[in-house]
Amino acid sequence: MSRTPFLFDLDGTLIDSVYQHVLAWKEALEAEGVTLSIWRIHRKIGMSGGLLAQVFLRETGLEISEKRLERLYQHHAEAFHRHHSQIAVRPLPGACQLLGYLTEQGIPWAIATSGQIETARPSLVTLGIDPDKITLVTRDQVRHAKPDPDLFVTAAERLGVDIRQSLVIGDSIWDMLAAQRARALGIGVLSGGYSQGELEQAGALRVYADPAGLLHHIDEVSARD
């Protein structure tokens, strides 16, 4: 039997960047006059930026014009970059080791992120990965954003594997919903700040603290030869 493929989310799953994104969105929304509580932004993170912004604007009843969305993206990117310069975005514990282990074992893996290629690239470099040498799917390459399974389905296609035989590893309930919708198995990590219960309720088969926890218990979800 072929080895179980691993399809990873990026922010909050492999790199420790969720909280910086949350405050960057908060700042961008405030600039548009939207005073959404910060925990509500946190719970929407993991959707793509575009979908996220539309949900925020819809929930607060503001008009969703192209111009306003464009301003939101730009402000978010600028604020995130500023946080980044104060607090270096680091790999989550075990992230590099887990990817190294999979590569070594010949287990197919890919990264499917709701972010754009421009923001994903520096994150991958942080992980010691050459973006051109791995299977990477970014938001700009697919039609629908998470929780639509498009990103993970495309990642599986590029690996030449069956999504229904794959694991989807993510920190947000949107990853877990996408996994279910694609008939993959969802594996949750707590490192994005969702709780174990929330991830399990969204369909996670197992939940670990972070990539180190998953690597430590990898026999629970993937057979060794």
Shortest distance in whole angstroms from residue 43 CB to a copy of itself: 8
161 or 215: CB nearest a copy of itself: 215
Shortest distance in whole angstroms from residue 13 CB to a copy of itself: 11
148 or 210: CB nearest a copy of itself: 210
Task: Please state, in angstroms and rounded to a whole number, the distance separating the CA atoms of residues 92 and 107.
Answer: 21
Three-class secondary structure assignment of 186-222: EEEEHHHCCCHHHHHHCCEEEEECCHHHHHHCHHHCC
32 or 198: CB nearest a copy of itself: 198
Shortest distance in whole angstroms from residue 86 CB to a copy of itself: 6
Task: Please state, in angstroms and rounded to a whole number, the distance separating the CA atoms of residues 167 and 225.
Answer: 17
- Residue 167: name the closest of 218, 209, 128, 127 by CA: 218
Q: What does the DSSP assignment read for 121-189?
A: HHHHHHTT--GGGS-EE-GGGSSS-TTSTHHHHHHHHHHT--GGG-EEEESSHHHHHHHHHTT-EEEEE
Please tell me the total number of residues recorded for the chain in this structure.
225
83 or 144: CB nearest a copy of itself: 83
Shortest distance in whole angstroms from residue 41 CB to a copy of itself: 9
Shortest distance in whole angstroms from residue 27 CB to a copy of itself: 5
Residues that bind a copy of itself (CB under 8 A): 16, 18-20, 22-23, 26-27, 30, 35, 37-39, 42, 79, 83, 86-88, 90, 92-93, 190-198, 210
Shortest distance in whole angstroms from residue 206 CB to a copy of itself: 17
Q: Is residue 93 within 8 Å of residue 57, measured between CB atoms?
A: no
Backbone angles phi, psi at 75, to 5 degrees: -65, -45
114 or 191: CB nearest a copy of itself: 191
147 or 149: CB nearest a copy of itself: 147
